[in-house]
Amino acid sequence: MSTPIPQPPGVPILGNIFNIDQNNTWWSLKGLAEKYGEIFQIKVLGKPIVFVASAALAEEICDQSRFRKYVGGPIVEIRYAVHDSLFTAYEHETNWGIAHRIIAPQLSTQAVAGHFNEVRDLTSELIAKWTQLGPKNKIQPIDDLNSLNLEATTLTFFGKKLNCLTGPVHPMIQAMEDSTSEAMKRPTRVPKFLNSLVYGTKFKSATAAMRAWATDLVKYRNENPTDRRDLLWAMMNVKDPESGKALTDEQVIDEIVTMPIGSSTAPCAIDAAILFLIQNPEVVVKARAELDAVIGSGPFSHEHLAQLPYIAGIARETLRLSFAAPGFNIEPIPRPGDTSPVLLAGGKYQVAHDQAMIIVLAGVNRDPAVFEEPLKFKPERMVGEAFDRLPAGVKKWFGNGKRECVGKHWAWEFLVTVLAKLIHEVDFEAVDPAYQLKQDGWFNVRPVGFYVKVKPRGA
Ligand code: HEM
């Protein structure tokens, strides 16, 4: 006998639509995970969606012999902007493999190491801005961190300096916000016709702005020939070793647009890290001891990264507690002719043979069955053997298997580099010392209403 999957009480026809705040879906899901535990379901317009929120069940449904990425809901909606790109391609679409084999080598640890100096120097530009704010010293770090991230992806992947760390918000940042928010809201909007009638124009203009940014990068490269062998060079020139195919001009634009949408998770994580560090001054003391011993007052070089295990622990503990990428979708691999239910936890639960499931990392990453004091920020548990001993289910911040984050090495180096520099060089103070983490967002989540003052370390 299997156990029924818990479900909050709903309303006729619309089901559980009111259990989810359409303007903050992931915060609602975090709340439901805290209430219901390892697994729960909701019904929206008659369709069940199952949510998995424990480490053990997450690990089970990350078994690629039984499950795969589910391309549905908001991911299908964002295909309007990027078609069958890496993030949005269905399992059967051959373009995923072609693009993956062309793009992944440019995002290997070795390739990413070649961009260390660029990311370090851009971070120095941000720190210079922050430490010269004068009377305007009250900032929402996410604003500038988003700019830093767009600047870093545009420079390292596509070879163009945008100079967007100062001045108004870059149109690409606003367009990503508009398109991802719209993609999240469309699947459950009632009545459906409002999607095209009222909100279609916003979706269209955000898509046009993102594709214009990407088109400009290709134009810039064509007009400024260079020896850089970067991601853009690969997208425009390399042929897939397996099929011999290159990306079409339209696919190049699709993949260029996909990259900053993926990468926009990294600044959300750093913003949360700033909060965790303010709340845990003893962590800053330990981190600075490591940074002073390894980097001291000399130049920060790529070789230092491997000598900063405690900073790496801070980055991992941030990924755990911020769940900046808040979840990902899974479905059972179709078994032709077999529509029997799929058993989970050795038969404790049953789901339909084609049931879409969403892993809610706010539950998984803070699973009390794995972590003592799961809500505490303790980088020590993310260092060395302690980290190695943790079960695979709680290390899914970059997704899973074949469809794991293709940018994970870049993201990791960005996180460690930026965090190391910020901790080493500046002091943060929360404008509201009683601020408690509240997040919102679309494809990623970031602290809301979190303001800080910044000054040079020790000043
Ligand atoms: C802290 C930073 C990041 C986190 C936590 C993160 C997390 C994730 C997760 C959870 C997935 C799986 C999504 C799914 O299964 O639907 C994913 C996929 C992806 N990410 Fe990231 N990501 C980060 C940074 C980046 C960066 C820097 C890039 C750009 C290079 C990027 C590009 C992508 C792409 C293209 C995919 C789709 C991969 C595929 O399906 O083949 N991400 N990411």
Model pLDDT for residues 329-383, shown as the tens digit of each residue: 999 999 999 999 999 999 999 999 999 999 999 999 999 999 999 999 999 999 9
Cα 115 from Cα 96, distance rounded (Å): 25
Q: Which residues contact ligand 1 via a Cβ below 6 A?
A: 69, 86-87, 100, 107, 258-259, 262-263, 265-266, 269, 324-325, 328-329, 397-399, 403, 405-407, 410-411
Task: Determine the distance separating the centroid of ligand 1 and the alpha carbon of 355, expressed in angstroms.
Answer: 23
Task: Determine the distance separating the centroid of ligand 1 and the alpha carbon of 262, expressed in angstroms.
Answer: 5
Q: Decide if 364 is inside a domain.
A: yes
At residue 12, the pLDDT reads: 83
pLDDT digits (tens, 9 = 90+) for 181-240: 999 999 988 888 998 888 899 999 999 999 999 999 999 999 999 999 999 999 999 999
Cβ count near 135 (within 10 Å):
5
Ligand 1 atom closest to the CA of 89, numbered from 1: 40
Q: Which of 207, 408, 258, 385 is nearest to 325 (CA)?
A: 408
Enumerate long-range contacts of 132-140, CB under 8 Å, 24 or more apart: 133/454, 137/453, 137/454, 137/455, 138/431, 138/451, 138/452, 138/453, 139/451, 139/452, 139/453, 139/454, 140/449, 140/450, 140/451
Task: Determine the distance separating the centroid of ligand 1 and the alpha carbon of 331, expressed in angstroms.
Answer: 18
Nearest CA to ligand 1 atom 12: 399
Q: Decide if 2 is inside a domain.
A: no
Matching residue, tokens 């060079």: 233
Cα 236 from Cα 246, distance rounded (Å): 8
Q: Decide if 6 is inside a domain.
A: no
Residues of the chain with pLDDT under 50: none
Ligand 1 atom closest to the CA of 149, numbered from 1: 27
Matching residue, tokens 């699947």: 187
Nearest CA to ligand 1 atom 20: 405
Cα 407 from Cα 156, distance rounded (Å): 12
Task: Determine the distance separating the centroid of ligand 1 and the alpha carbon of 263, expressed in angstroms.
Answer: 7
Nearest CA to ligand 1 atom 21: 405
Nearest CA to ligand 1 atom 27: 263
- DSSP per-residue letters across 256-322: HHHHHHHHTHHHHHHHHHHHHHHH-HHHHHHHHHHHHHHTTTS---HHHHTT-HHHHHHHHHHHHHH
At residue 419, the pLDDT reads: 99
Cis peptide before 281 (omega within 30 of 0): no
pTM comes to 0.98
Q: Decide if 12 is inside a domain.
A: no
Ligand 1 atom closest to the CA of 415, numbered from 1: 1
Q: Decide if 444 is inside a domain.
A: yes
Q: What does DSSP assign to residue 81?
A: H
Which residue range(s) make up the domain with 439? 17-456
Q: Which of 455, 389, 393, 390 is nearest to 426 (CA)?
A: 455
Ligand 1 atom closest to the CA of 402, numbered from 1: 41
Nearest CA to ligand 1 atom 25: 263
CATH number for the domain spanning 122: value is 1.10.630.10
Cβ count near 55 (within 10 Å):
25
Nearest CA to ligand 1 atom 7: 398
- 67, 110, 405 from 231: Cα distances, Å: 30, 13, 16
Task: Determine the distance separating the centroid of ligand 1 and the alpha carbon of 70, expressed in angstroms.
Answer: 15
Whether 388 and 314 have beta carbons less than 8 Å apart is answered as: no
Domain count, the chain: 1
- Determine if residue 405 is labeled as part of a ligand binding site: yes
Q: Decide if 4 is inside a domain.
A: no
Instruction: Choose the residue to mutate in 76, 95, 405, 445 for probing ligand 1, maximizing ligand atoms within 8 Å of C-beta.
Output: 405
φ and ψ at residue 146, rounded to 5 degrees: -60, -40
Task: Determine the distance separating the centroid of ligand 1 and the alpha carbon of 454, expressed in angstroms.
Answer: 30
**What sign results for the dihedral spanned by CA atoms 401, 404, 410, 416?**
negative
At residue 18, the pLDDT reads: 87
Q: Which helix (H) or strand (E) holds 210?
A: helix 200-223
Task: Determine the distance separating the centroid of ligand 1 and the alpha carbon of 459, expressed in angstroms.
Answer: 38
- Tokens describing residue 256: 């260029």
